[in-house]
C-alpha cells in the first residue's frame, strides 16, 4: 500500500483481499483514518456490520497468534474466535491449547466460551419445545407474558405484566412469594 490512497483504492483492495488480517487493517484505515461508518463498510463488503466489528477485533490479537495464522497452524475462523477473548494472556493460552490438542473450530468455540464466561459447556440444555411449553404454562398461570431464554452459558426468564402500579406492585409481591415461599408475610428491609 502506498502512503496516501483514496477511499476508492482502499475499497477495491478490501473487496479483493483474501488475507483476513490485511482485510482487518484495510477496514481500520477506512474506519479511523478515512472516517467511514461501520455500516457503510459492511455494505461495501455485502456483510453484516457485526462481521466488520469482528474484523476490527482481529487487530488486538497477539503477534504469536497472527504468526500461527500465517504459518497455517490455525484458520481464519480460529482467529475470529480467539479475538473474542479479553486479554492477551487468554488469547495466547487458548492458542497454545488449540495447537497442543489440534482443536477443531467447534472445540475451540467451547474453549473460548469456557475462558470467557468461566462456564464449561455440558450440553444439558432443555429442548426448545419444552421451553416454549413452560413459557405458555407460566403465561397462563401468572396471567403475564413470560419468555424463557437459555444459551450455553446463561438463562433468562422475563415476566412482563401490564397494568397500573397498584396491580403491578401486587403482582411483583405475588411472584416474589411464589419464588420465596418462606418469605410470606415478612417485610423486605430497604437499605439506603
Architecture of domain 7-117: Orthogonal Bundle (1.10)
Please state the domain extents for the chain. Answer: 7-117, 128-183
Tens of pLDDT along the chain (192 residues) come to 444 577 888 888 888 899 999 999 999 999 988 888 989 999 989 999 999 999 999 999 999 999 999 999 999 999 999 999 999 999 999 999 999 999 999 899 888 988 887 765 556 778 888 888 989 998 998 889 999 888 766 788 999 999 999 999 999 888 888 888 776 666 667 766
User: pLDDT by residue (tens digit) across 92-146?
Assistant: 999 999 999 999 998 998 889 888 877 655 567 788 888 889 899 989 988 899 9
User: What DSSP string describes 56-91?
Assistant: HHGGGS-HHHHHHHHTTSS-HHHHHHHTTSSSHHHH
Helix, strand or coil, per DSSP, at residue 2: coil
Helical H segments across the chain, by residue range: 7-16, 20-28, 38-45, 49-57, 63-70, 76-82, 88-101, 105-117, 128-142, 165-179
pLDDT of 123 reads 64
**Which pLDDT value is given to residue 1?**
47
**Best CA proximity match to 108, nearest among 66, 87, 132, 79:** 79
How would DSSP label each residue in 133-149?
Answer: HHHHHHHHHHTSEEEEE
pLDDT number for residue 184: 65
Cβ burial of 135 (10 Å; 0-12, 13-18, 19+) is middle
pLDDT of residue 2: 46
Candidates 131, 4, 19, 133; CA nearest to 66 is 19
Amino acid at each position: 500500500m502506498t502512503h496516501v490512497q483514496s477511499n476508492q483504492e482502499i475499497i477495491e483492495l478490501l473487496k479483493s483481499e483474501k488475507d483476513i488480517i490485511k482485510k482487518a487493517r484495510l477496514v481500520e484505515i477506512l474506519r479511523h483514518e478515512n472516517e467511514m461508518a461501520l455500516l457503510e463498510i459492511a455494505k461495501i463488503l455485502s456483510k453484516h456490520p457485526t462481521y466488520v466489528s469482528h474484523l476490527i477485533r482481529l487487530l488486538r490479537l497477539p503477534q504469536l497468534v497472527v504468526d500461527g495464522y500465517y504459518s497455517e497452524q490455525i484458520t481464519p475462523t480460529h482467529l475470529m474466535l480467539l479475538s473474542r477473548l479479553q486479554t492477551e494472556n487468554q488469547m495466547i493460552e487458548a492458542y497454545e491449547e488449540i495447537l497442543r490438542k489440534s482443536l477443531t473450530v467447534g472445540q475451540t468455540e467451547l474453549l473460548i466460551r469456557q475462558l470467557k464466561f468461566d462456564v464449561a459447556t455440558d450440553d444439558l440444555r432443555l429442548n426448545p419445545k419444552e421451553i416454549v411449553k413452560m413459557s405458555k404454562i407460566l403465561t397462563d398461570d401468572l396471567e403475564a407474558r413470560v419468555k424463557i431464554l437459555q444459551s450455553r452459558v446463561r438463562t433468562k426468564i422475563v415476566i412482563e405484566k401490564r397494568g397500573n402500579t397498584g396491580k403491578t406492585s401486587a403482582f411483583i409481591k405475588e411472584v416474589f412469594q411464589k419464588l420465596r415461599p418462606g418469605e410470606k408475610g415478612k417485610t423486605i428491609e430497604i437499605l439506603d
